[in-house]
Amino acid sequence: MRYLTFALAKGRLAKTTMAMFEQLGITCEAMKDKDTRKLIFVNEEKKLKFFLAKASDVPTYVEYGAADIGVVGEDTILEEGRSLYEVMDLGFGRCRMCVCGPVSAREKLQHGELIRVASKYPHIAKDYFYNKKFQTVEIIKLNGSVELAPIVGLSEVIVDIVETGSTLRANGLEVLEEICDLSARMVVNQVSLKMEQERIRRLIQDLRALKAAKFKSTIIDAGNVSGKEK
């Protein structure tokens, strides 16, 4: 039997995924070592391999078949636009993709003014403004701490993930428009789904049953899809 390889978005998504797998009897003790710098972990008994990757790289590993299966936030899947099968909403890491900014920006959004939009998600932002709102905007790509942009005058608004809303509140910003809901998803390589149909189908079935039995994500605070330890 060949190894089935999983690419997990490192951080809380990976931890919650492993907690879920553990309830199905799939364990990987070496992964629990907080001090480990290892990136690949093996379960010899079940012929499974798990590796931890930067969230934005997970769809790439899966598309090219370096991983059969990936677990990553829907934000990343939408942003990366890779060719893969999205097979399951895992039900954790729930949050929203929103347009946020100071209250004063609300009017500019409503009047369709040419504004600047800063985001870690330029494709999602572009799709929203150009294809859904039909509003021409200038999109500026940032790599983190996006809430800074409207505060220091880089942009009028941001497109970003909102989970508890505490980052927005702490910085005097608000949700101005909601783009979509997000959660952690399981994605599968297109060839793997055919070649490993039986094993993957069984895993999805087991995960669905676990979800139905209300997997308690309180074991680990799953956080939002960005998966960062807070």
| Nearer residue to ligand PRP within complex by CB, 49 or 94 | 94
Interface ranges with ligand PRP (CB under 6 A) = 144-147, 160-167, 224, 226, 228
Cα separation, 47 vs 5, in Å, equals 9
Select 49 or 120, whichever has its Cβ closest to ligand PRP. Answer: 120
Label residue 181 exposed, middle or buried (CB < 10 Å: 0-12, 13-18, 19+).
Answer: exposed
CB closer to ligand PRP out of 145 and 190 = 145
Nearer Cβ to ligand PRP (56/167): 167
Q: How far is the CB of 92 from ligand PRP (least distance, A)?
A: 14
CA of residue 220 relative to chain centroid, distance: 17
Report how far residue 216's alpha carbon sits from residue 221's, in angstroms, rounded to the nearest whole number.
10
Cα 173 from Cα 156, distance rounded (Å)? 11
Q: Tell the smallest beta-carbon distance from residue 230 to ligand PRP (Å).
A: 6
CB of 40 to ligand PRP, least distance (A): 24
**Between residues 120 and 199, which has the closer beta carbon with respect to ligand PRP?**
120
For residues 142 and 188, which CB has a smaller minimum distance to ligand PRP in the complex?
A: 142
CB of 139 to ligand PRP, least distance (A): 16
Distance CA 147, CA 157 (A): 9
CB of 64: closest distance to ligand PRP in angstroms?
25
- Distance in angstroms (rounded) separating the CA atoms of residues 184 and 77: 10
- In the complex, what is the shortest distance from the CB of residue 167 to ligand PRP, in angstroms, rounded to a whole number? 3
**Cβ neighbours around 82 below 10 Å, total:** 17
Going by C-beta distance under 8 Å and a sequence separation of 6 or more, which residues neighbour residue 136? 112, 114, 129, 130
DSSP state of 15: H
